Structure 1
Amino acid sequence: MLFIFLGVLFVSILFGIPIVFGMAIANLVMLKIMDFPMVSYAQKLFNGMDSFALLAVPFYMFVGEVMNRGGIAKRLMVFSDTLVGHIKGGLGHVNILSSMFFGGISGSAIADTAAIGGLLIPTMEEEGYDPAYSAAVTASSSVIGIIIPPSIPFILYGVTTSTSISRMFIGGIIPGILAGLILMLVTLLTVDKNKVDKNNGQKKRFVIKNVFLSLKDAWAALIIPFIIVVGILAGVFTATEAGVVAAILALLLGLFVFKELKIKDLPQVIFNTSKTTASVLFLCGNASVTAYLLTLAQVPQELAIMFGSLSENPMVIIIVANVLLLLVGFVMDITPAILILGPVLLPVMTNFGVDPIFWGVIMCVNLGIGLITPPVGTVLFVAAGITKIKMEQLVKAIIPFFIGMVGLLLLLIIFPQLITYLPYLLLPVK
């Protein structure tokens, strides 16, 4: 039954049908084959969208829109520049650190690419960085936005698999920091081949005074992720309610503190948020139908038997599953991939004793790498659009960063405590 679903889905995509409608068609085909009444499609569709946890999605998307227009991203970039701008490949490091800060507020890789890329890529080009390299740094660092909490993919995984979203958020802290450090290392090793020195050998210096001056302007934005994490840990609000808090804080900052967001901008912000949210929720509803039908068809059990025939070693199973996810990331965007495969693969993993939080973070990191791989890497298209370069140029430039992210994935697989230590320490199972 899984092959029927995937076959119909990929045929739909080949004919140019949007993936969300391709999922709907595949679900209807499965309903017909399984001789289910069509009315059950509507019931399961709305059940899949009727989730309190999913309320976080529009709020974090709203935050991303507000940050793009409200001057928040610009202040985070200036603060990052005072911290790491003096290191070799300075603007590349600024780009990555800005993405870490931005991702700690918006939870969206695309919003990160659009905001940070729009500000930094032209500046990097003026400083002598190759346009393709500038776009590659921006695209790869934006993946951090879906690892550091909050994270929209973490929310979707948690909803579809009934996994604690709060623990997922905490589990992403160390991997997100490691992702930033690894990408900075790649930048340090590759920048000489991709930058012309336009400063005649003059180097920027680290000035502690400038750090505090920029922090004075950026502290209000930086406090948002701090409030989110501390609020969740203290039990003040849930991960879903944290989205409301982040949205209100971002709105207040944009309107009244930085004063770069105008009241007249809000209708467009709300429209953009609503349009994206509608697509995600319809995907969630269809994914709920898919998970229901595949479970009835005993697909998870069949996959568990198939994986079990390969090996009884959990590490081998995890590696095989990750190779599969990397291949899926080449041809499918992260949102539908998580919604389709999350409920299918998690029972298989838990059958081999794999922790659900560990697997959730691994799955999101893996599929996040797919955002920077052709032919459907959505972040690649955004970055290429900003720099106005050919996709072939960007793909070539991003290879070292892709290798770095795969290295992070392997590191997390070998040392699962990097993911699981903090969640169970700070949010112990009662």
Structure 2
Amino acid sequence: MVEVALLALLVLMLTLTIGVPLPFCFGAALMVMSVVGGVTMKGTMVWGFGQLANPILLAIPLFILAGTLMSVSGLAASLLRLVNIFIGHVRGGLGVVATLSCALIGAISGSGLTGVAAIGPLLIPEMVRQGYPRGYSSALVACSSVLGLLIPPSVTMIVFGCVTDTSILAAFLATLGPGLLIMVNLSVVNLVMARKFDLKLDAKPDMATLVSESRKRTVHAFPALLMPFIILGGIYGGILTPTEAAAVAVIYAVPVGFWIYKGLTWRSMLDAGKESASAVGAIMLMILFSLILSQMFVLESIPQKLVNVIFEFTQDKFMILLLVNLLLFVVGMIVNDITAIILIAPLLLPLMKAIGIDPVHFAAIIGVNTALGGITPPYASILYMGARVGGARVVEVVIPALKFLFFAFLPTVLLTTYWPELSLFFPRLFGY
């Protein structure tokens, strides 16, 4: 039966890769389990719709809507101007601004594409004007936007918590350490690579100008800075659930976008709603069908059988974790992060428990690995969007992106996997 389950997953990934509409992809996998494996679907469809009634899942469309509203409202521009006053005159400083800005956006939106949409049109032309290659600028913004998948709140961790019955707050905190480390790594790699560019730097402000401008820009950016404090403070302070925090984010973004930053209009708000609805529809379909498929796996004890198969191959914890990382990396190259999590997480969680890996630690491992899929071809949706927003050819973007991948992301993946404290420090700090 393990062979049938693997065949179903293979059929699913192949159909997703060649562009078959989403429901038919999962339908093909379910047919493999039903026809080839003889597994009954009786009751699983009703069970799947029942799981969709989970109120926690409401946080997903709300966070996506909040991120979309933020990208068109002017919140991102105010954050960018604030950070730029401090390091815009430093060689490579504008690249650091890109990374820090995307981290701030990630702390609001929970999405990887929001950073590209909000920061790219503002920062990439400015980086090109200063002397950065267009492909490099687009790659840096795209890679930095991955932080939106790791720095809480994260849509992917909401999905992980739902499909594995793990605390969503703990999963949020698990990816915070790796996300901050990637932010630092990207900044350092950028500073090193920027040495070879002929840059036209901003004039270094004197102390009086720095104090005056920083005060003005801080006041202007204060409403935008307040948003992540409200969301994260509400969640971790126990005042708001993730769903309530997502609703607060939407409610807060609308008046701030309309009346403070004036970037939001009725037309752009309607467009943001349509864009969010389209993304949410695809995500909820994926969750429904993947829940049904994973339930069929559970009914046939596929996870436990998979554990036994792997243990027959090796019982070495180091090797098993290495194989899991390779599997997650390959799957992330083929399908998007949410699809990868809802397919692989329930399947591998029993194996992780069997070798002594805490589910919260596993959340960080799978979160970091699947986030890489957004910048790793052939899937690489975030990278392709960065190239499109930056007006660069994909080949120009891929080469610098691979450098960021090797020097900034890969060390973090290894540390997250083999040094549990990196992902467990913040959850333990908050009592999880």
TM bucket normalised to smaller: over 0.9
Shift of 1:100: 0.6
Aligned equivalent of 1:316: 319
> Are 2:186 and 1:183 aligned?
yes
Structure 1 residues 205 and 285, CA, compared in 2 at 3 Å: closer, same or farther?
farther
Distance, in Å, in 2 between the alignment partners of 1:183 and 1:19 is 34
**Counterpart selection for 2:21 from 18, 22, 29:** 18
What pairs with 1:79-118 in structure 2 (closer than 5 Å)?
A: 79-118=82-121
Percent identity, aligned pairs only? 31
In the other structure, the counterpart of 2:161 is 158
Conserved 8 A contact 1:86-1:205: no
Separation in 1 of the partners of 2:11 and 2:169? Answer: 35
Partners of 1:59 and 1:301 lie apart in 2 by 35
Could you tell me which amino acid in structure 2 is paired with residue 89 of structure 1?
Answer: G
Aligned to 2:410: 406
Residue 357 of structure 2 is aligned to residue 349 of structure 1: no
Partner SS for 1:422 = helix
CA deviations on 1:206-253 (whole Å, 9 max, x unpaired) are 824332321111121112222222222222111222111111111221
- Deviation (angstroms), 1:362: 1.5
TM-score normalised to structure 1 length = 0.94
| Contact kept in structure 2, 1:48 and 1:289, CA below 8 Å | no
Distance 1:70 1:359, change over 3 A: same
Distance 1:263 1:205 in 2: 42
- The aligned residue for residue 197 of structure 1 is 199
Partner Cα distance (2:323, 2:10) in 1: 21
Deviates more, 1:300-309 or 1:283-292: 300-309
Alignment match of 1:418 (pick from 411, 419, 422):
422
Choose the corresponding residue for 1:30, options 28, 33, 37: 33
Aligned position for 2:226: 223
Amino acid at match of 1:210: E
Q: Distance in 2 between matches of 1:84 and 1:264?
A: 35
Post-superposition shift, 1:351? 1.4
Contact 1:314 1:354 in 2 (8 A): no
Q: CA RMSD in A?
A: 2.0
Judge conservation of contact 2:116–2:386 (CA < 8 Å) in 1.
Answer: yes
CA contact (8 A) 1:161 1:346 kept: yes
Report deviation, 1:152. Answer: 0.5
Alpha-carbon deviation of 1:118?
A: 1.5
- State the SS of the aligned residue for 2:373: helix
Residue ranges of structure 1 left out of the alignment (5+ in a row): none
Does the 8 Å contact 1:291/1:340 carry over to 2? yes
Between the aligned partners of 2:88 and 2:428, the Cα distance in structure 1 is 36
Shift of 1:115: 1.2
CA distance in 1, matches of 2:24, 2:339: 11
Distance (Å, rounded) in 1 between the aligned partners of 2:244 and 2:140: 32
Paired AA for residue 339 in structure 1: I
Show the 5 A alignment for 1:4-403: 4-13=7-16, 15-36=18-39, 40=43, 42-193=45-196, 195-199=197-201, 207-403=210-406
Note the alpha carbon deviations across 1:151-197, whole angstroms, 9 max, x for none. 0111111111111111111223222221111100110111123x322
Amino acid at match of 1:5: A
Distance in 2 (CA, whole Å) between partners of 1:338 and 1:47 is: 20
Give the AA of the match of 2:400: A
Conserved? CA contact 1:233–1:427, under 8 Å: no
In the alignment, the residues of structure 2 paired with residue 391 and residue 269 of structure 1 have an alpha-carbon distance, to the nearest angstrom, of 26
Shift of residue 340, structure 1, vs aligned partner: 0.4
Query: Helix, strand or coil: the match of 1:235?
Result: coil
Secondary structure of 2:180's counterpart equals helix
Distance between the aligned counterparts of 1:273 and 1:322, measured in 2? 31
The 1:251/1:21 distance shift into structure 2, 3 A limit, reads: farther
Contact kept? 1:99, 1:112, Cα under 8 Å? yes
Partners of 1:35 and 1:302 lie apart in 2 by: 17
CA–CA distance in structure 1, aligned partners of residues 104 and 400 of structure 2: 24
Code of the residue aligned with 1:75 in structure 2: it is S
In structure 1, give the amino acid aligned to 2:393.
K
Quick one: structure 1 residues 382 and 183, their matched pair in 2 at CA, closer, same or farther if it must change by over 3 Å? Answer: same
Contact 1:9/1:19, CA 8 A, preserved across alignment: no
Shift of 1:34: 4.3
Q: Taking structure 1 as reference, are residues 78 and 20 closer, same or farther at Cα in structure 2, changes over 3 Å only?
A: farther
Return the alpha-carbon distance in structure 2 between the equivalents of residues 87 and 318 of structure 1.
40
Distance 1:424 1:347 in 2: 22
Shift of 1:38: 5.3
Q: How far off its partner does 1:372 sit? A: 0.4
Amino acid paired to 1:78: R
Hey, what's the Cα distance between the residues in 2 that align with 1:132 and 1:265?
29
CA separation in 1, counterparts of 2:199 and 2:267? 42
Q: CA deviation at 1:43?
A: 1.9
C-alpha separation between the residues in 2 aligned to 1:84 and 1:198? Answer: 14
Cα offset, 1:60, TM superposition: 0.5
